Structure 1
Amino acid sequence: MSWFKRIFLFLVLCGVLGLGALAALYLWVAPTLPDVDSLKTVQLQTPMRIYSKDGALLSQFGEKRRIPVRYGDVPQPLIDAFLATEDARFFEHKGVDPIGVIRAAVVLVTTGRKAQGASTITMQVARNFFLSREKTYIRKVKEIFLALKIEQLLSKEEILELYLNRSFLGNRAYGVGAAAQVYYGKDVAQLTLAQMAMIAGLPQAPSAANPIRNPQRAFTRRNVVLGRMLDVGFISQQQFDDTRVQPITARYHGAEIELDAPYVAEMARDIMVARYGEDAAYTGGYQVYTSIETTAQRQAQQALRDNLYSYDRRHGYRGPIASLWQPQPAADADPANIDSPTADATVDAAAGTPWERDRILQTLADTKPVQDLLPAVVMDTDAKQAMLLMADGSDAVLSWEGMNWGREFITDTRQGAAPKQASDILSEGDLIWVRQQPERLMLAQEPQVSSALVALNPGDGAVRALVGGYNFQHSQYNRVTQAKRQLGSNIKPFIYSAALEQGYTLATLVNNAPINQWDRSQGTAWRPKNSPDVYTGPTRVRRGLGQSVNVMAVRTLRHVGINGAIAQLQKFGFERNDLPRNESLALGSAVATPMDVARGFATFANGGFKVEPYVIERIENSFGQVLYQAQPRIACAECEQALKAQPQQFSTDIQAQCPIPASQLAPRILSPQVAFLIKDTLSSVIWGGGDWSKGTGWNGTAWRAAQLIKRRDIGGKTGTTNESRDTWFSGFGPGIVATSWVGFDDHGRQLGRTSWDNYGPRNQITGAESGAKTAGPAWNQFMNQALKGVPTVPMTPPEGVVTARIDLASGKLSRRNDYTSRFEYFVAGTEPTEYADNQQQEQPVFEQETEELF
């Protein structure tokens, strides 16, 4: 008994000393332990994701890939896989597993190695959030104490949720949500058992043993996880046998971009960084929903690209990307007459020796596609076709119809002779771009010219589509918001709106006669010209704006006054410093961005209100809570009238009619009557007027839009600057306003002109580039697509607008009901009171727009 007592006392003493040592150890370590309470409000570093209005992913910003998932959204087999592998007794222990500790101690004593760390999932959470990964005893002690505190603070489910979202799983993927996307392109709920086991095996060596870097090692590790699941009883023998033989299916998946809109994504990124700071924006898990509509965005991108390709084709072929080797000369050819390689071409050292197929394919693999342009190498040419090798190793035939546009580009204003055979365009060894069209493969080239297209909702300014250039990867310069270019005739509707407010009507006659004004300061005469250079004497305002008559715009500006015109333009949002204080203002010497112009035209479309464009509709945190909701000012004539009628009751009775708060009503900058008159006249820019059968018919400068879109509820305005350096088309349809711009980023480079192409379409564009011919086709194509299925909305005049039949020649009232007259709209009280004495036939200015300067 004495020995028993001694042993008992010894054990008690050891226990007391152990507890004392443990207490002392805790007191020593406690001051260095972090506060685990922060886990209650932990913010996982989650990348920012940018979406379209309808939920398509545009882009993702942030170094760490993480897609947070709630515990309840994680499939049970995935949870089981992690528990079986990392901590099978997780739901039984209190943060530290005594059995695991004893097992690790035995291994350490018997082998002298730290082969097993005895870390529970709770301890791993403590390490991941608060400690380093160094293998030291003091870190293990801290880990244990932190785990005990975490278990007191959080539930088992909350701990496991943190673990599943925090763990690094290779390839910049943090958490199971990101791993499922990176390795399989799936949501966690879509994973198979084999894929779940693969992910659960990654925490041991996420960088070295992931299935992309080391598939065989990952395969072995996956089967270890399956074996553990079988041992613990989470899967059956049959499931184990069926799953363990399944092949590795993982491959790298980048962010699943569903809508390629990089200029929009970059705009949203800039706004978020300005709002939250760079670190928080990239790691706060913000979900940013833009106002962009997926269908409209794709239509805008396609319209812009198709238009630039068309411009490039009519100006001629600039040659291949490179010449990989020179074609072998014919047997009877004179070597002295063989052309030498061009200076900028990549040529094989042994000229005339075709490359091996593998070498060609490697070159094609290294030549990344640009938008929808694909690289190809010319292997041979026949009389009317070329044989190509594509990057995927397939052979293709480029038909004559796919390349016959390729006359030589000489300058922006000159093209070479029409080719007669394939060898006039291409040579064996040429590395070229091709573009797959529905009917055939087409020879193509990367455009040098630039463009922008933006579409807004005129009711509230929401940006529905925005394309800032042809290729964001080559140029991040967003021409929609950053490129201030001369407006040309796009400015004229704003000038005429000021004139209508100062007594002009659409029937007012303005003298369409040459201007010759001496400029003392310059010692020269200013002689603005029409395009074409035709003058018809007194002409009605509707026709002057519809046909963009330059001298009439200058005389209208004189009526308004420089100060009055600048004040009017400022109301639309144009900046004063961008508006020259001289009469060239009437011809578009002012500068503005396409976004500025679209905002201005929205006022005509919405009945006179100024709306502000916006691109971010709402911001959510990583769990879907709304942090910001756009509150745009809305154009609403009905609400405006209701507010005027009963301002004191707006929040009750009136709000039932129109739920827009008074504070959210957009400011009116133009009377509804004047806004309607300009809008209706802009329709004449497209549809023209008069009676062609009687000789009074006339085309507006945008008659091509009428040929394609064929609806009367559209309107717009062309614009071309001097020497065709900037071309514009801006206009509207029901619920949409859009601006298209085309020009070179180099302000000194002209868009040039083209001659007739023997192989071009019958309606091909020739002559000087202009707003109608260069920017207009993109607008036409986009609006034709955007308005499909949209019901026609008649242009109904607002209260205060009356009609009167006028004489076309004089603008006075007419008693005739024939081709010499028409009904015209007037602001009530401004209609003419005199009748025309002599009914004269109106002479056409021109039948088709051939060239438009300013």
Structure 2
Amino acid sequence: MWKWLKRLLFVAMFFAFAGIAAIAGMYYYVKPDLPDVKSIKTVQLQTPMKVFSSDGELISQFGEKRRIPLEIQDIPAQMIDAFLATEDSRYYQHPGIDPIGIVRAAIVYLSSGQAKQGASTITQQVARNFFLTREKTLIRKIKEVFIAIHIEQLLTKDEILALYLNKIPLGYRSYGVGAAAQVYYGKDVSELTLAQTAVIAGLPKAPSKLNPIYSPENAKARRSIVLQRMLEEGHISKAEFEQANNAPITAKYHGAEIALSAPFVAEMARQQLIEMYGEEAAYNQGLNVYTTVNFKDQQATQQALMDNLQAYDRRHGYRGPIEQLWQKDEAAWAMQKIYDHLDSQPYYGPLRPAVVTKIDKKEVEVLVQGGKAGIIAWEDMQWARRFVNDKRQGPAPKKAASIFNLGDMVWVRIEDEKIILAQLPDAAGALVAINPLDGAIQGLSGGFDFKQSKFNRATMAKRQVGSNIKPFVYSAALENGFTLGTLVNDSPINHWDTGQGIAWRPKNSPAVYDGPIRVRVALAKSKNVVSVRLLRSIGIQPLIDHLAKFGFSKKDLPENESIALGTPSLTPLEVATAYAVLANGGYKVSPYIIAKIEDAYGNLVYQAAPDLACINCPDNLVQSDENSELDVIETAVLDVSEQPKSVPDASTYVPEKSKTAPQVISSANAFLMREALNSGVWGGSSHGKHWNGTGWRAASALKRHDIGGKTGTTNDSKDAWFSGISPYSVATAWVGFDNHARTLGYASRNANLGNKQRSGGEFGGSTALPAWIAFMKVYLADKEEQDKQIPRTITKVAIDKETGLLSNGSGNSRTEYYEKGTEPTSYQSELETNFFESGGGDDELF
């Protein structure tokens, strides 16, 4: 017996040493291919880039993987229990590999012939997920074991578990339990029920096969296994098991919880992040990007543009249904078939597709996408006279059957439970607002809806600007001897061009000529011939040089006299940026959209540092409203061309400091232009009669005097503009068609609506200005009206309105502002008017 025991002991020792030697041999065999596991201590989980408003509302999320990193203490104990019970019940007892589990899995395999039970621990899964592929080979399994043991030596059990619960793929591009809770249930992980927790804990085995959205029956069966294991391990009671096991599968897909849908803003931020750091860092390092827009102002921007485009579209008539689902001689579709079809359709902004199911004399019944059924009343459809072309509309409808057929699929919008007939606008538009003190974009919309067209017209659409160019022409005139009180001849120009054999006759629009007119009034009334006469006094090249000071590229400025009437093609953002120079005292600020960037842990890695306008520099002002503070955002433009292609280390990052922006025109010039733009809104009087500026609608709508602006309309009304200033914001609105051949046209009077709907031609003051007003109503609502800020170099004198000379005390006088040394000194009664020769083509820009 003893003899056999010694032999058995010897054999056991032999196999033990052989096993150790084999393990050592395997280790040294795979050692050259083992990764440096120490890197796991500084691992950065791939998390998507998130774009926020300045007040912290989520705008968008970019990246292939959705992940919400959580600390172990932020993961509910029930979630941890569910995973441990299912995946690795001896996790806190084993050293990274579980010999008992391996033996148990081997016994099951030998007895059944199938690998029904896995032997990988959570630590091994971490090793595989971070360092290895999922190939099923012996060498990979050996590497996995050694890496797991090494990980256990480097990290605590809680640290390993946190990596696992944040890294593991759980389907629908969700990685980690935080993302899975949001994707499947739209909840924070702490808000999940036991049944929902068990569903998520069952996913690691086969995320696609057990997915509760794609395969609810498989998910329910797997959930039962998870709950059974939790019951066996003592984590839940029998009653809790029964309740959770009988609960229905409630999962459905939830996108990122977007609080502020601003896709044009989000896309601008995304593009800039890629330019700064490259795609890999931008998409996968969990950067949190804070833009310069806030929730209220961005919403106001988008709503103002959408409402304005819909108003234009209604004026020009109804273009008919999107689609007709059945004909008059066909049976109507079943309700469920209609809803299924509607659910497959896209929607845009506030517009939803609906199907007409019944037509009465002055109302129709509709089914709306999303399951709503209701009635379109006569008052909400009577606008829909037939669209003929951009300049013609059919007669006003008298009954609902004149508008609809049964089976029509149409666009509607829902307001206060009312269903209103609508249509997707054909016309395009843009609205952008910036802070004149630093260039921060306060609101931006590049079209009716990003899904309709991703083309950002605010930053990419170069369109002729019409009379929006005139303030900069007049600014050049002020630098060349003119004043706001200078008289210029507003009379027709007829100059024969001997080279082309034609006469150029620039016209006013309307074709009214006032004769001698002061510069202030000429700009406010948008007198074309005065703009041309000023250009001829200045010279084309000096004017181009002056326009370039405002940021306009010289290549966009034609070297001919049409430049004075607005033939340059510019983007709305370029125009708004130029108007900011007039609003802020002459300083060239640069527009920007990103205020700051934080890493996934909330550490600052980038802070914009703007060039700021120096409104309160001591040499500039003699008076200001000390009770009002301008809305300064201390951030600035980013020169992405000089940025490194990697994210800065937050521990060493030092934000740059802002500098004073370059002053491109004098504070006196900027002030005088603000005065002229103010008259463009508020108008004036002469001999007791009031005259309107082209932006007069803004005066009655906003009822404040610290605003100004300029309309713009191009030949045949292809483009309509309004750019306006205030101490707090500068905004530009544009309306036109993406097809440059189409004109904005004409809207005749709708007999059903009378004065409720505007009729007539489409111009800057009627077509673009309403969007600017709607935005400013919201933006300026909580901001005090400011007093004029008058530079030290400005003086004011009383002048006669007709002659521009010093007033002799008559009733036809006003106070006018001048740069010191340019004010009139004579009381002569004779008219002193500046006349200039005219010159070549036929142009109606104004």
Query: TM-score, normalised to structure 2's length?
Result: 0.91
Displacement after TM superposition at 1:738 (Å) = 0.6
Give the distance between the partners of 2:249 and 2:396, measured in 1 at CA. Answer: 55
Measure the CA separation in 2 of the matches of 1:449 and 1:821.
45
Corresponding residue of 2:680: 685
Give the structure 1 partner of residue 43 of structure 2.
42
- In structure 2, the partner of 1:700 is 693
- Per the alignment, in what secondary structure is the counterpart of residue 533 of structure 2? helix
Indicate how the Cα distance of structure 1 residues 107 and 382 shifts in structure 2: closer, same or farther if over 3 A, else same.
Answer: closer
Contact 2:495–2:505 (Cα < 8 Å) also in 1: yes
1:56-90 CA deviation, whole Å, 9 max, x = no partner?
22222222222222223222222222222212222
1:454 aligned partner, one-letter code: V
The 1:360/1:210 distance shift into structure 2, 3 A limit, reads closer
1:298 partner letter: Q
Residue aligning to 2:382: 404
Which moves more between the two structures, 671-680 or 794-803?
794-803
Determine whether 1:666 maps to 2:661.
yes
CA shift at 1:313, angstroms?
A: 1.0
Confirm or deny: 8 A CA contact 1:288 1:616 kept in the other structure: yes
Q: Which stretch shifts more, 498-507 or 594-603?
A: 498-507
Structure 2 residue aligned with 1:14: 15
Are residues 1:676 and 2:687 paired? no
CA contact (8 A) 1:719 1:770 kept: yes
CA contact (8 A) 2:584 2:727 kept: no
Summarize the Cα distance change of 1:232–1:794 in structure 2 as closer, same or farther, 3 Å threshold.
Answer: same
Closer, same or farther in 2 for the Cα pair 1:797/1:101, shift >3 Å? same
Using a 3 Å threshold, how does the CA distance of structure 1 residues 588 and 49 change in structure 2: closer, same or farther?
A: same
How far is the alpha carbon of 1:110 from its aligned partner? Answer: 2.9
RMSD of aligned alpha carbons: 2.3
For 1:171-186, what aligned pairs fall within 5 Å after superposition?
171-186=172-187
- Counterparts in 2 of 1:779-794, with a 5 A limit? 779-794=772-787
8 Å CA contact 2:48, 2:63 repeated in 1? yes
Distance change in 2, residues 1:364/1:605 (3 Å): same
Matches within 5 A, 1:250-649: 250-327=251-328, 351-438=329-416, 440-638=418-616
Partner Cα distance (2:797, 2:30) in 1: 94
Q: Deviations over 1:528-577 (max 9, x none)?
A: 01111111111011100111111111111122211111111101000101
Paired residue type of 2:207:
P
- 1:118-139 deviations in whole A, cap 9, x for unaligned? 2111111111122233444333
Give the match for residue 203 of structure 1.
204
**Are the counterparts in 2 of residues 807 and 839 from structure 1 also a CA contact under 8 Å?**
no
Does the Cα contact within 8 Å between 2:795 and 2:819 map onto a contact in 1? yes
What amino acid sits opposite 1:159 in the alignment? I
Matches of 2:187 and 2:844, distance apart in 1: 54
* Residues 736-751 of structure 1 aligned to structure 2 (within 5 Å): 736-751=729-744
Q: Offset of 1:761 from its aligned partner?
A: 4.7
Match of residue 87 from structure 1 = 88
Cα 1:763–1:795 change in 2 (3 A) is farther
Contact 1:807 1:836 in 2 (8 A): no
1:142 is matched with: 143
Indicate if the aligned counterparts of 2:227 and 2:245 stay in contact, CA closer than 8 A: yes
Alignment partners' CA distance in 2, 1:71 and 1:365: 41
Higher mean displacement: 257-266 or 582-591: 257-266
Deviation for aligned residue 1:261? 1.2
1:5 aligns with 2:3: no
- SS of corresponding position for 1:114: coil
Code of the residue aligned with 2:387 in structure 1: it is F
Q: CA deviation at 1:453?
A: 0.5
Aligned to 1:824: 816
Aligned length: 802
Q: SS where residue 38 of structure 1 aligns?
A: helix
Indicate yes or no: 2:803 matched with 1:810.
Answer: yes
Which residue matches 1:170?
A: 171
Q: Distance in 2 between matches of 1:325 and 1:246?
A: 42
CA distance in 2, matches of 1:175, 1:574: 49
Counterpart position of 1:756: 749
Partner SS for 2:595: strand
| 1:797 counterpart SS class | coil
* Alpha carbons of structure 1 residues 509 and 100: separation in structure 2 relative to 1, 3 Å: same
SS in structure 1 at match of 2:459: coil
**Partners of 1:517 and 1:527 within 8 A in 2:** yes
CA distance in 2, matches of 1:11, 1:439: 83
List per-residue Cα deviations over 1:691-723 (Å, max 9, x = no partner). 6xx543110001111121111111111000111
Using CA pairs below 8 Å that are at least 6 residues apart, which structure has the higher relative contact order?
Answer: 2
Does structure 1 conserve the Cα–Cα contact (< 8 Å) formed by 2:715 and 2:844?
no
Deviation at 1:836, TM superposition (A): 4.6
Paired residue secondary structure (1:209): coil
List alignment gaps of at least 5 residues for structure 2: 621-654, 833-842
Distance (Å, rounded) in 2 between the aligned partners of 1:10 and 1:443: 90
What is the distance in 1 between the residues matched to 2:158 and 2:549? 59
Q: 1:11 to 1:394 in 2, by over 3 A?
A: closer
Q: Which amino acid aligns with 2:552?
A: F
Residue equivalent to 2:793? 800
Q: Which stretch of structure 1 is more off in the superposition, 269-278 or 822-831?
A: 269-278
CA distance in structure 2 between the aligned counterparts of 1:143 and 1:422, rounded to whole angstroms? 72
CA distance in 1, matches of 2:190, 2:821: 69
Alignment partner, residue 625 of structure 2: none
Secondary structure at the aligned position of 2:691 is classed as: coil
- Aligned partner of residue 432 in structure 2, secondary structure: strand
> Aligned-pair distance for 1:187?
2.0
Once the two structures are TM-superposed, the CA of residue 852 in structure 1 deviates from its matched residue by 8.6
Instruction: Specify the alignment match of 1:29 in structure 2.
Output: 30
CA apart distance, 1:607 = 1.3
Q: Which residue of 2 aligns with 1:346?
A: none
Task: Kindly state the Cα deviation for residue 45 of structure 1 after the two structures are TM-superposed.
Answer: 2.1
Q: SS in structure 1 opposite 2:264? A: helix
State the secondary structure of the residue aligned to 1:410.
strand
CA contact (8 A) 1:770 1:853 kept: no
Moved more, 407-416 or 427-436: 427-436
Deviates more, 1:190-199 or 1:448-457: 190-199
Amino acid corresponding to residue 126 of structure 1 in structure 2:
A
| Identical columns (%) | 54
CA contact (8 A) 2:70 2:166 kept: yes
**Shift in Å, 1:231:** 2.9
Shift of residue 352, structure 1, vs aligned partner: 4.9
Instruction: State the match for 1:844 in structure 2.
Output: none
Do the aligned residues in 1 keep the contact of 2:717 with 2:744 (CA within 8 Å)?
yes
- Give the residue type in structure 2 aligned to 1:197: A
